[in-house]
Structure 1
Amino acid sequence: MTADRRDKLIVALPDAPGEIVRVADAVGDGPLLVEFGEAAEHRQVRIRRHDGSEGWAALSEAILQVGGAPHRVTVLHDAAEDLESREQLRRLSLVANATDRALLLLDENRRAIYANPAFTELFGYTQAEIVGRVPTEVLEGPQTDQEALARLRRRAASGDSFHDEFLARDKWGRDILTLVSVSAVRAEDGSVRNIVLVMEDITKDKQIETLRREMLEALTSAASLRDVGDFLCRQVEALAPEVVCSFILVDAERRLRPLSAPSLPASFSDAINGAEIGPCCGSCGTAAYRGEPVQVTDIASDPLWAPFLDLGLPPGLKACWSSPIKARSGRVVGTFAFYYSENRGPSAWHEQIVATCLHLCMIAIEQHEANQQIAQLAHFDPLTGLPNRSRFHEDIEGQLREASEEGVAFFFLDVDRFNDVNETLGHSAGDQMLMEVARRLQRLFHGADAVYRFNGDEFLMVLPGCTAARAAAEARRALAALSEPFNLSGVTLAKSASIGISLCPENGGDGETLLQHAGAALSEAKKTQRGTIHFFSPEMDAALQQRLHLGNALREAIAGNALELHYQPQLAPESRALHGVEALARWTHPTLGRIAPDKFIPVAEETDQIEAIGTWSLGEACRQLALWRAMGIDIPTVSVNLSALHFRNSALPGFIAGVLDRYGLPPRCLTVEITESIMVDRGGRTLETVRAVRDLGVGLSMDDFGTGFSSLSNISRLPISELKIDRSFMQHFEQDGNAQALVRAVIGIGQSLGLDVVCEGVETEPQRRFLVELGCSVVQGYLFSRPLTPDGLVAWLAEQAGAAAGTPRR
Structure 2
Amino acid sequence: MRGSQIAESSGDVLIPVLEQAIDAVVIIDELNNVTFFNTAAEKLWGHSRAEVLGQNVRLLVPAPMRPAHDAQINRNRAGGTDTLVGTTVEVPIERKDGTPVWGSLSLSRITAGGKTLYAAFVKDVTEDVKRREEIYLLSLVADETDRAVIITDVRHRIVYCNRAFTEMFGYQRAEVMGQSPTALLRGQHTDPRALARLNGLAGHQRGLHEEVLGYTKSGKEIWLSATINPILDQAGQFRHAVSVIANITETKQTQVLQQRVLEALANDRPLVEVADLICRQVEAITPGVVCSILRVDAGGLVRPLAGPSLPDHYSQALDGLPIGPDVGSCGTAAHLGVPVQVDDIETSPLWAAYKSLPLPLGLLACWSSPIKLKDGRVAGTFAFYFREKRGPSAWHERLVEACVHLCALAIERHDAKAHIDQLAYYDTLTGLPNRLLLGDKIDQQIAAAAASHKEVALLFLDIDNFKDVNDTLGHSAGDALLIEIARRLQDQLRAGDIVSRLGGDEFVVMLSDCGVAHAAGVAGRILEALALPIRVEAMALPVSASIGISLYPGDGLNKEALLKHADTAMYEAKAAGRGTHRFFSHDMNLIAQERLVLGAALSDALCHGTLQLHYQPQIRTEDDSLHGVEALARWHHPVHGQVPPAKFIALAEETGLVEAVGEWALGEACRQMADWRRRGIDIPTVSVNLSPLHFRNSRLPDLVASALKRNGLEARALTLEITENVMMDDCPETAATVQAVHALGIRLSLDDFGIGYSSLSSITRLPIEELKIDRSFMRDLETDQNARAVASAVIRIGHSLGLNVVAEGVETEAQRRFLQALRCHVLQGFLFAPAQRAGDLESWLARRDVVLSRSRVA
Distance change in 2, residues 1:306/1:686 (3 Å): closer
- Provide closer, same or farther for how the CA distance between residues 645 and 87 of structure 1 changes in structure 2, counting only shifts above 3 A: farther
Q: State, as a whole percentage, how many aligned pairs show the same letter.
A: 42
Q: Mean alpha-carbon deviation: is it higher for 730-739 or for 591-600?
A: 730-739
Counterpart in 2 of 1:117? 163
Matched, 1:226 2:244: no
- Aligned partners of 2:162, 2:90: CA distance in 1, in Å? 31
Worse-superposed segment, 241-250 or 561-570: 561-570
Distance in structure 2 (CA, Å) of the matches to 1:544 and 1:198: 85
Q: Which runs of 5+ in 1 are unaligned?
A: 1-6, 24-40, 62-71
Distance verdict in 2 for CA 1:153–1:534, change over 3 Å: same
Contact 1:729–1:739 (Cα < 8 Å) also in 2: yes
Q: 2:628–2:687: 8 Å Cα contact kept in structure 1?
A: no
How far does the alpha carbon of each residue in 1:283-337 deviate from its partner, in whole angstroms, 9 at most, with x for none? Answer: 655665676434355769999478664x6x7966343424143444666554434
The amino acid of 1:265's aligned partner reads: P
SS at match of 1:173: coil
- 2:226 corresponds to: 180
Aligned mate of 1:540, from 588, 595, 598: 588
1:507 aligned residue: 555
Q: Which residue of structure 2 lines up, in the alignment, with residue 350 of structure 1?
A: 396
Question: Are the aligned partners of 1:520 and 1:540 in contact in 2 as well (CA < 8 Å)?
Answer: yes
- Does structure 1 conserve the Cα–Cα contact (< 8 Å) formed by 2:617 and 2:833? no
Matches within 5 A, 1:322-341: 322-328=367-373, 333-340=379-386
1:5-24 maps to which residues of 2 (within 5 A)? Answer: 18=36, 20=38
Q: State yes or no: 1:103 paired with 2:149.
A: yes
Task: Tell me which amino acid in the other structure corresponds to 1:143.
Answer: H
| Equivalent residue for 2:93, pick from 41, 46, 56 | 46
**Displacement after TM superposition at 1:543 (Å):** 1.0
1:683 aligns with: 731
Residues 136/692 of structure 1: CA separation in 2 closer, same or farther (3 Å cut): farther
Are residues 125 and 672 of structure 1, via their aligned partners in 2, closer, same or farther at CA, if it must alter by over 3 Å? farther
Q: Describe the SS at the equivalent of 1:682.
A: coil
CA deviation profile, 1:20-52 (whole Å, cap 9, x unmatched)? 4699xxxxxxxxxxxxxxxxx997873635xx4
What's the CA shift for 1:544? 1.7
Q: Give, in whole Å, the separation in 1 of the partners of 2:254 and 2:680.
A: 87
Contact 2:371/2:382, CA 8 A, preserved across alignment: no
Change (3 A) 1:303 1:228: closer
User: 1:239 corresponds to which letter in structure 2?
Assistant: I
CA distance, structure 1, for counterparts of residue 466 and residue 132 of structure 2: 98
Aligned match of 1:261: 307
Decide whether the 8 Å contact of 2:24 with 2:123 is kept in 1. Answer: no
Q: Is the 8 A contact 2:748 2:767 kept in 1?
A: no
The CA distance in 2 between the partners of 1:386 and 1:807, in whole Å, is: 71
1:606 corresponds to which of 654, 657, 665: 654
Equivalent residue runs for 1:266-285 within 5 Å: 266-271=312-317, 273-274=319-320, 284=330
Against the structure 1 CA distance between its residues 100 and 553, is the aligned structure 2 distance closer, same or farther, given a 3 Å change threshold?
A: farther
Offset at residue 88 of structure 1 (A):
4.7
Q: 1:415 to 1:807 in 2, by over 3 A?
A: closer
Distance 2:192 2:156 in 1: 19
Q: Relative to 1, partners in 2 of residues 1:286 and 1:745: Cα closer, same or farther, differing over 3 Å?
A: closer
**Residue 362 of structure 2: which of 317, 320, 325 is its match?**
317
Please state how far the C-alpha of 1:123 moved relative to its aligned partner.
3.3
Alpha-carbon distance between aligned partners in 1 of 2:798 and 2:296, rounded to the nearest angstrom:
73
Maintained 8 Å contact 1:764/1:783? no
Deviation at 1:568, TM superposition (A): 5.9
> Which amino acid in structure 2 is aligned with residue 537 of structure 1?
S
Of residues 437-446 and 731-740 in structure 1, the stretch that sits farther from structure 2 once superposed is: 731-740
1:449-487 Cα offsets, whole Å, 9 max, x none, are 555555455555555565545555554555445445555
Shift of the 280–677 alpha-carbon distance from structure 1 to 2, 3 Å rule, reads closer
Q: Does 1:217 align with 2:255?
A: no
C-alpha displacement at 1:11, in angstroms? 9.1
1:205-260 deviation per Cα after TM superposition (whole angstroms, max 9, x unaligned): 22212322322333454433333332222222322343333333445665554333
Query: Which aligned pairs between 1:700-711 and structure 2 lie closer than 5 A?
Result: 705-706=752-753
Q: Rate the CA distance shift 1:308–1:11 in 2: closer, same or farther, 3 A.
A: closer
Which of residues 91, 97, 101 is equivalent to 1:56? 101
Cα distance in 2 for residues equivalent to 1:237 and 1:614: 75
Task: Output the amino acid matched with 1:18.
Answer: F
Equivalent runs, 1:660-675 vs 2, <5 Å? none
1:512-559 deviation line (CA, Å, top 9, x unaligned):
54443333333223223234443333211221233345556777999x
State the distance in 2 between where 1:736 and 1:809 align.
33
Q: Following the alignment from structure 2 to structure 1, what is the Cα–Cα distance between the partners of residues 633 and 21?
A: 125
1:356 to partner: Cα distance: 2.5
Alignment of 1:474-489 (within 5 A): 475-484=523-532
Q: CA deviation at 1:352?
A: 2.9
Cα distance in structure 2, aligned partners of 1:608 and 1:339: 67
More deviation, 103-112/317-326: 103-112
The 2-side partners of 1:578 and 1:154 are apart by 113
TM-score for both structures, normalised by structure 2: 0.66
Q: Is the alpha carbon distance of 1:173 and 1:476 closer, same or farther for their aligned partners in structure 2, counting shifts above 3 Å?
A: closer
Give yes or no for contact 1:218–1:228 (8 Å, CA) kept in 2: yes
Write the deviation string for residues 128-181 of structure 1: whole angstroms up to 9, x where unpaired: 555556644543444333555555566656535454433333444333333333
Contact 1:587 1:595 in 2 (8 A): yes
Distance in 2 separating the partners of 1:467 and 1:478: 17
- The match for 2:211 is 165
**Secondary structure in structure 1 of the residue aligned to 2:36:** coil
Q: 1:236 aligns with which of 260, 265, 282?
A: 282
Amino acid of the residue matched to residue 177 of structure 1?
W
Give the Cα separation in 2 of the matches to 1:183 and 1:393: 68
CA drift of 1:689 comes to: 4.8
Q: Following superposition of structure 1 onto structure 2, how do residues 418-567 of structure 1 map, counting pairs within 5 Å?
A: 418-421=466-469, 437=485, 444-446=492-494, 451-452=499-500, 455-463=503-511, 468=516, 471-472=519-520, 475-484=523-532, 491=539, 496-548=544-596, 551=599
> CA separation of 1:442/1:140 partners in 2, compared to 1, >3 Å: closer, same or farther?
closer
How far apart, CA to CA, are the structure 1 residues paired with 2:700 and 2:542?
A: 36
Secondary structure in 2 matching 1:18:
strand
Match of 1:30 in 2: none
The answer to whether the 8 Å contact 1:9/1:74 transfers is: no
Task: Give the distance between the partners of 1:131 and 1:781, measured in 2 at CA.
Answer: 130
Deviation sequence 1:595-653 (CA, Å, 0-9, x none): 78765654453344556x4699599979999x999x99999999998755565565x37
- Counterpart of 1:94 (choices 128, 132, 140) is 140
Q: Distance in 2 between matches of 1:417 and 1:208?
A: 63
- Report what 2:189 is aligned to: 143
Q: Which amino acid aligns with 1:207?
A: Q
1:295 has 2:370 as partner: no
- The alignment's C-alpha RMSD in Å is 6.4
1:233/1:262 contact within 8 Å kept: yes
Query: How far apart, in 2, do the equivalents of 1:131 and 1:637 lie?
Result: 121
Q: Would the alpha carbon gap of residues 17 and 373 (structure 1) be closer, same or farther in structure 2, given more than 3 Å must change?
A: closer
Change (3 A) 1:476 1:60: closer
